[in-house]
Amino acid sequence: MLTNCDILCISDICWDEHWSVEQQFMSRLSQCNRVLYIERPVSILTPFKRFGFRHAIRQVSHWIRGGVRKKSENLYVASPPPVLPLRYLDVINAINGCIYGRWIERLSYKLGFTSPILWVFEPSAARVISRIKHSLLIYHCLDSWTGSSTWWNSNSAIEKQERRLINMSKIVFAVSRSLTEEKSKYNQNTFYIPNGADFFHFSKAQSPQLRIPQETESLSPPVIGFIGVIGSRFDAKLMTYVADQRKGWSFLFVGPVVERVEGIRSLMKLPNVFFVGMQPIEQLPAYLKAMDVCTIPYRSNDFTDNCFPLKIFEYISAGKPIVATVMPSLREYSDFVWCSPDSDTFLKNLDKALLCISQEAVKRRMELGKNNSWEKRIEQACRIIRNCL
């Protein structure tokens, strides 16, 4: 673990959103280092996104009140001023870089972060970074950003901004082997750091003392579950087919529906399907305890071909069998995940997974989860950083 360092994190999400790699890394690093966590700024288009209005009001309110909240002795969370939308377009990126970078520069000086380690998750932040004095620049690549291209943020614009950041960085971390291979073409100091899990927290799902949530007590077994954001990568058509074919089973979905997912309304109409919305991370082990099999039903596209699902080791730490669609990053865990190329195979794999609930199978899964904790991931990253420092 790094100690007595100043770390300035430029994140692509806000601290109070669903907990992801950014919060997992920075919350632990702040135990022995000072951390300034910069949230992603809002724009004038943010209120028009699903759940965006509340998000924009909250972030602007934080900014007006000074922008900085002290979460713990060593952890500061900052809400930046609003910026222009369409952040990957070159002219707008330059303007935002000036506004955003100058604000961070002033805040860093005020808090005494004079030459911090810059740990960046936001792929469009190269021009922001150029304004900030730092001792080391790390780009932590969590996804194939070009895989989610839209008309206002084209693949070429996204790639141009991310490439600029990669070239500037001393270290690049990537969460999947395919992303590591791709980014290493532009920066030889690219390292594979897959996602991990809070093993201690999620292993509570096996505790006899833990009660399942009240709304799950009446569900007919077996319970097939999913925990996570239900967005563009979620295959609602697949789960509609599966739930319709297994009418006697219960299907439990924990997480926010953040986009207009194709086929989601048909899924929600089925009588054996239950959506409980986003739940606090403290409650997730209880929901996992209520599930017999956990799923990762992602669409097949460039985005998911390069991702490493955050939930994989959370499910495994809870001792649960997993059925997923085909993703290259899951191949090395074929002993623990049933990967399914089509809907009928997905169904058959659910049947198989329901038979693998012995204590021996649970123990094997939990051992794998323990060996892939966030603590081990952070120590791996810190060894690389210490060598560079």
CA gap 296, 333 in Å, rounded: 14
Residue with tokens 């900085």: 68
- The whole-number pLDDT of residue 92 equals 92
Residues 20 and 112 in one domain: yes
Render pLDDT for 203-222 as a digit per residue (tens, 0 to 9). Answer: 999 999 999 999 999 999 99
User: 370: exposed, middle or buried (C-beta count within 10 Å: 0-12, 13-18, 19+)?
Assistant: middle
Question: Do 204 and 268 belong to one domain?
Answer: yes
Structural domain span for residue 121: 6-196+373-388
| CATH at residue 341 | 3.40.50.2000
pLDDT tens digits for 103-145? 999 999 999 998 999 999 999 999 999 889 999 999 999 999 8
Q: Tell me the C-alpha distance between 296 and 107, whole Å.
A: 40
CA 207 to chain centre: 26
- Average pLDDT on 281-287 reads 96
Confidence of residue 264 (pLDDT cuts 50, 70, 90): very high
264 CB-near residues (< 8 Å, 6+ apart):
230, 234, 236, 257
> Quick one: pLDDT at residue 150?
59
Tokens encoding 244: 């319709």
Q: Are 42 and 154 found together in one domain? A: yes
pLDDT digits (tens, 9 = 90+) for 356-383: 989 999 999 999 999 999 999 999 999 9
> Both 66 and 12 in a single domain?
yes
Using the 8-state DSSP alphabet, how is residue 277 labeled? E
Structure confidence at residue 53 (pLDDT): 67
Write out pLDDT tens, residues 59-97.
Answer: 878 777 777 999 999 999 999 998 888 889 999 999 999
> How much is the pLDDT for 67?
79
Residues 176 and 263 in one domain: no
Strand, coil or helix: 235: coil
- Kindly state whether residues 42 and 113 are assigned to the same domain: yes
Contact 344, 329 (CB under 8 A): no
Is there a domain that residue 152 lies in?
Answer: yes
Report the number of secondary-structure helices (H) and strands (E) in the chain. 15, 14
Same domain? For 257 and 361 the reply is yes
Q: Check whether residue 214 and residue 245 sit in a common domain.
A: yes
Domain count, the chain: 2
CA–CA distance, 318 with 285 (Å, rounded to integer)? 7
Whether 87 is in a domain gets the answer yes
Residue 50's pLDDT is: 56
- Residue 44 banded pLDDT, cuts 50, 70, 90: confident
Q: Shortest CA distance to 367 belongs to which of 322, 313, 323, 324?
A: 313
In a domain, 1, yes or no: no
Under the banding of pLDDT at 50, 70 and 90, the label for residue 388 is: confident
